[in-house]
Structures are given as structure tokens and as C-alpha cells.
Amino acid sequence: MNLERRIERLEEKLGAKSEPRVLVITNVRFDHTDGQPPSLIQIVPEAWAFAVRGGPFTREEINQLRNEHAAANRQA
């Protein structure tokens, strides 16, 4: 049995199966007042990203979001 399948089975058994990531990108920073606060990062001074579901951002995700934002602004 491969490692990925074993991890998947363990996640199911422990109820830790991660949900799909839900991201919100906005130019407004707001405080999340009800329930668990989402992960929040500032992509650039005028853009914020919230991870509403799926755990905190990884360093790779932060870099990817910043690179995508920079590329979109170069094309505009």
C-alpha cells in the first residue's frame, strides 16, 4: 500500500480530512468576528488574501499569490 493511501486512510479515521481551500482576495482588510478567524496575509499593500477554509497559508502559497498578483499587474 503506498504512503499517500495510508495517509488518506488515517485522515479519514481521525476525521482530519482537509476540506478544499477557499480563498478570498480583496482590497479591504476586515476583522473576522464570528467563529474561527481565517488565515490572513497581505499580498501587496493594496491586496489581502483570506483562507476561509483549509488551514493557514504555506510559504509556497504566499509566494504563488504574490507572483500571480505581480503577473496580473504587468499584463494590465
| Domain annotation covers residue 13 | no
pLDDT mean values, one per 10 residues, the chain (76 residues): 81 72 80 65 86 79 90 81
Q: What's the predicted TM-score (pTM) here?
A: 0.59
Coil, helix or strand at residue 45: coil
| Domain annotation covers residue 55 | yes
As for how many domains the chain has, the answer is: 1
Number of neighbours of residue 57 by Cβ within 10 angstroms: 19
| Domain annotation covers residue 23 | yes
- Return left, alpha or beta for 74; rule: phi > 0 is left, psi -120 to 50 is alpha, else beta: alpha
| Domain annotation covers residue 14 | no
CA–CA dist 25, 57 (Å, integer):
13
Q: What is the pLDDT of residue 67?
A: 92
Q: What is the pLDDT of residue 45?
A: 85
Cα 25 to Cα 6, 30, 39, 49, 51: the distances in Å are 34, 12, 12, 4, 9
Q: Which domain holds residue 42?
A: 19-75
Backbone torsions φ then ψ of 17, nearest 5 degrees: -60, 125
